[in-house]
Amino acid sequence: MTPPPITRIPAPGTGRSDAVASDGYVYAVATDPECADGIAAQTRNTLHDLDRLLEELGSNRTRLLQATVYLSDIALKPQMDAVWRDWIGAEANWPQRACVGVGLETGYLIEVVVIAQGL
């Protein structure tokens, strides 16, 4: 039996992929490509980039199954959550989600990892 094909969107020059699709699922990670000032702006930019990755691999935010939000400071969660709620929309779109406070690369306040079904 031949394994299902894998489609990858490589991250620029890092030895990893920003997103991978296989067997009807999309796995993606996004950060703010502009590293904007403040958690609200970084969250908006990160989610915009996530939309792009999901679309490129045949999915979208309504197909999210799981999301992990990594924050440089867990105290930023309420501000991030306000942007997230506007982005994710109706309850029918809500994935299982966890938020974790972690050390991120200098300047980055948020990183989002998701699993979604293809369309």
Is 101 inside any structural domain?
Answer: yes
User: What is the CATH number for 17?
Assistant: 3.30.1330.40
Is 31 inside any structural domain?
Answer: yes
Is 1 inside any structural domain?
Answer: no
Q: Which domain holds residue 108?
A: 6-117
Instruction: For helices 77-88 and 39-56, give the axis angle rounded to 10 degrees.
Output: 40
How many domains, in total, are found in the chain?
Answer: 1
Is 66 inside any structural domain?
Answer: yes
> What are the DSSP E strand ranges found in the chain?
6-10, 17-22, 25-30, 64-71, 96-101, 110-117
**Is pLDDT at 89 greater than 90 in this prediction?**
yes
**Is pLDDT at 13 greater than 90 in this prediction?**
no
What pLDDT sits at residue 7?
97
pLDDT in tens, 38-87: 999 999 999 999 999 999 999 999 999 999 999 999 999 999 999 999 99
